[in-house]
Amino acid sequence: MTERVTSRPTDIRVGSTTDGLTPISVAERKYGASWPQWLSLGSVALAALGADQLTKSIVTSRLDFNDQVHVAGPFSIHHVTNSGIAFGLFASATSLVILLTALAVAWMLYFFARSGSRHPVLPVALGLVIGGSVSNLLDRVRLGHVTDFLDFRYWPAFNLADTFIVVGVAALLLALVASDRKATTQRGVVASHIRRGE
């Protein structure tokens, strides 16, 4: 007498892989930048570049080199130049600074192309960083230095481009931390539902 073996149908739940055991915690989502996001990035970058170039032009046309106008407290408008990066760093390595800035801008554009949809603040944050970086880069290529004029006496003089870069990087870091925290929370909620069989 032969024993008949019947195959049991595979039990596959929604939210599981085909083996019915490994949970799928989050659905895949494409994070590449859309055309409206590219437009936002470009607009912010151009506005930052234009504002920085305009203020530098006003300072260089109104003040001779090393002249300054006291504004309030420790703050003054002081016409100085800088061949390095923000706040006078790497002042003696202009060629290296130009190369590193160009590579950084290229990396930011690549990052935005792949991850521009991760957080709504990314076009603004990266736009500020790219606009400030490109504005200072143009000055270094054309003049060999950038014009700095915002002087708080106890801190190296800087310009609007430096300010845009710092604000943009801070906003970018906050956005990425918020995005990762939200994704971690969503994974935890989904995993909790799966454990309870919901």
Tokens describing residue 5:
């073996």
Query: Of 88, 84, 89, whose CA–CA distance to 157 is shortest?
Result: 88
**Adjacent-strand bridge partners of 19:** none
Q: Which two tokens stand for residue 100?
A: 């590193």
d(CA 55, CA 130): 18
Catalytic residue numbers, as ranges: 148, 162
How far, in Å, CA of 84 to CA of 97, rounded? 7
**Contact, 131 vs 52, CB < 8 A?**
yes
User: Is the separation of the CB atoms in 77 and 59 below 8 Å?
Assistant: yes
